[in-house]
Amino acid sequence: MPFSRFLTVLRTGLLAGLLAGPVLAGPAAAFEVPYKDFYDELKRFEPRPGTERLALRTSLRAKDRNAELGPVEMRILTADGPQPVPVDAKNAFALPLNPAWVEEGARIELNQDPERFEIRVQVGMKLDDPTRFSYADVVAAFGQFDAVIGKEAGFFAFAVPSAKVLRVQCGTGCTATLAGPKGESTIAADDRGRVNIPKERRLLKENPTITLSRPALWTSISTKDSGTRD
């Protein structure tokens, strides 16, 4: 299954459960989805051998790319009471994966209309240092990414696109300096605040050290070219 199709299926399955709302929770309208819907999809991304260089980022974003979601609030309704799920300013969250909550039929409550948002899952590179890493680290993360996606695709792995670029979100005006045996070069962030580090044979041979002018907030690995929106 092509990776883009895989993410589409992921979002479609989750949204089907979300459309069961709304219910009332306090003074504001809220929507509920079975915790199991999230658990089943995100469990496959749980760290396992061969993924130690990868990091998962899950977020909510507006279906309409010209619109912005308001601040998202989320909690898990369990038998022991509500469990808050921290959501950052970019509406990213890390959902605790607890099989006991699946068994008891826990639900996730959100304050956003599911007709307006979609769930985005991004696989990125884990950074031990948010300002400095080697190109060899990037290549190793690309290799693990390709292996994971190929395994998900199964028989159709031959048709799955491979990693092409590491997008490092570090803000508008951020730069990355690549220092190698033949000198230095600089990559400036795009208009979305992302430094795009491409998969290139030349860089693989030189293995430059990459230094960011600002700490990375998160990363994502893309199968699209550097200048393509995703």
Q: Range of 151's domain?
A: 127-222
Same domain, 74 and 98: yes
Last residue of a domain, one of 56, 91, 123: 123
158 falls within a domain: yes
Give how far Cα 23 sits from Cα of 20, 31, 37, 39, 85, Å.
9, 6, 18, 21, 19
pLDDT at 14: 43
The C-alpha atoms of residue 182 and residue 160 are separated, in whole angstroms, by 34
Same domain, 26 and 39: yes
pLDDT at 45: 77
Give how far Cα 5 sits from Cα of 17, 133, 141, 153, Å.
19, 31, 22, 10
Chunked mean pLDDT (size 10), the chain, 230 residues: 41 41 45 90 80 91 86 94 94 94 96 82 94 98 89 55 95 97 96 96 96 98 75
pLDDT at 98: 96
Whole-prediction pTM value?
0.76
Same domain, 30 and 12: yes
Last residue of a domain, one of 90, 123, 156: 123
Last residue of a domain, one of 77, 104, 123: 123
- How many domains does the chain fold into? 2
Q: H or E stretch including 122?
A: strand 117-125
pLDDT at 160: 65
pLDDT at 4: 43
pLDDT at 153: 54
